[in-house]
Amino acid sequence: MDNKATSSSPRIIPRPEHTISRANISEQARKVLYRLHDAGYAAFLVGGGVRDILLGLRPKDFDVATNATPEQVKDLFRNCRLIGRRFRLAHVFFGRDIIEVATFRGHHSQAEHVEDGLMHEGMLLRDNVYGTLEEDAWRRDFSVNALYYNIADFSLVDYTDGMSDLQQQRLRMIGDPMVRCQEDPVRMLRAIRFAAKLGFSLDDSVVHAIEQHRTRLQAVPPARLFDELLKLFLKGHALRTYELLRQYNLLAVLFPAVDHLLKQADAFADQFIRQALINTDQRIAQEKPVNPAFLFAAMLWGPLLHAVNVLRQQKMSPIQAMQVASGDVLEEQAQVIALPKRFRLPIREIWAGQSRLEKRQGRRAHWFMEQPRFRAAYDFLLLRQQAGETGLEEICEWWTHFQTANEHERKQMTQTRRHPSHKPPKLPDTNEA
């Protein structure tokens, strides 16, 4: 940790010199702040809530930092539950809304017991060490996330020059990025996520740390990487995230098979992923749900097609090649990012559904349209056309009309594979499964 952590004086920004108003803070967060303050504890709004208000954005979450221990917080709030093993937190519930309250953290080197600050090969495994406001500020990841709004006098407390970085739209890691990324390699993904969300540039020191430590992500448990991946791609900035992951060679660690195709200049694989992520961002902007299974099916479509082609060259039947390739591609990816079983089957069904959509005679079309994964398979087909795959216009138009046709028209369509002339459909957004 940087020595400044124990020797710096904060910059205090009084209320007239910043743009945060209590009106910008949710009623629930204000209640937590004031109850802590009234009980004699320090109470600060911190993190993304402060950062986003200062940037003119609307925060989705409000986090509170205090010198009260989790047990003391729980004594103040009947609607409180303590969570966490690596670092104990208090969650105060207001219906579906949760205000997270964290006790000021100290540095892990101050742990009185070995189990309080556990390290393994430079990676921090456990971090139950309490400290002061100053220590807490220097323990945070990025300077723009280390601005504290003091409910006592409505001032901002800035130990890490975060306000300057905010104004310069720069994402700078607190302390030595080489050490911080070694302690927790996921910080590299957080850097990408914040850069994509805020439109900020990465400080040169952060870029250098990513270049040196990106392979350390391979030591992160696959289940944790799955959770981080959802944060990366399901926050409304998926396309920019993808571009940054490629720019800093992190995609090679997270999706090695995809990166291999892209480095072979597979233009369609790149365009297909981009279109899927554009649609994902559009759905999130419209507050529509996004199925992670659809997202993974799109990301891995290129490697799947490559694997199928290899097996077909070995004289394997199309159906068998698809079945074997699906299993192989998902298993290989799961070695890096865990794919829960509840998503693996839908992914395979979306892929298998592409060939089923081609079989439209007799009762097959009626049967498939009644299946749970039909809509996801259909949306995936439309995505393929949107991304520029040729030869799909007729089948996309056919299925679009079939879904709205009456029984007589459907019977005629499945007998003749023809349907009344109508304008090509306006392709809807995807991921509706």
Whether residue 370 contacts residue 363, with contact meaning beta carbons closer than 8 Å, is answered with no
Tell me the pairing of strands 156-158 and 11-13: antiparallel
Token duo for residue 406 = 């009456």
Phi and psi torsions of 305, nearest 5°:
-60, -40
Q: Is 63 a catalytic residue?
A: yes
Q: Is 61 a catalytic residue?
A: yes
Tell me which residue of 62, 70, 75, 112 sits closest to 87, measured CA to CA: 70
Say which of 52, 127, 136, 141 is annotated catalytic: 141
Residue owning tokens 């499945």: 414
Tell me which residue of 160, 216, 150 sits closest to 183, measured CA to CA: 216
Say which of 2, 61, 116, 266 is annotated catalytic: 61
Token duo for residue 87 = 């670092």
The H or E element containing residue 69 is: none
Token duo for residue 270 = 């790149």
| 201: Cβ contacts below 8 Å, ≥ 6 apart | 169, 170, 171, 195
| 60: Cβ contacts below 8 Å, ≥ 6 apart | none
**Alpha-carbon distance 142 to 47, whole Å?**
9
**Alpha-carbon distance 294 to 375, whole Å?**
11
Of the chain, the end-to-end C-alpha distance in Å amounts to 46
Amino acid identity of 330? L
**Alpha-carbon distance 308 to 319, whole Å?**
10
Please tell me what DSSP assigns to residue 220.
S
Tell me the pairing of strands 147-150 and 97-103: unpaired
| Dihedral sign from CA coordinates of 306, 307, 309, 310 | positive
Say which of 52, 63, 158, 379 is annotated catalytic: 63
Query: How many other C-beta atoms can be found within 10 angstroms of the C-beta atom of residue 328?
Result: 17
User: Which positions are catalytic?
Assistant: 61, 63, 141
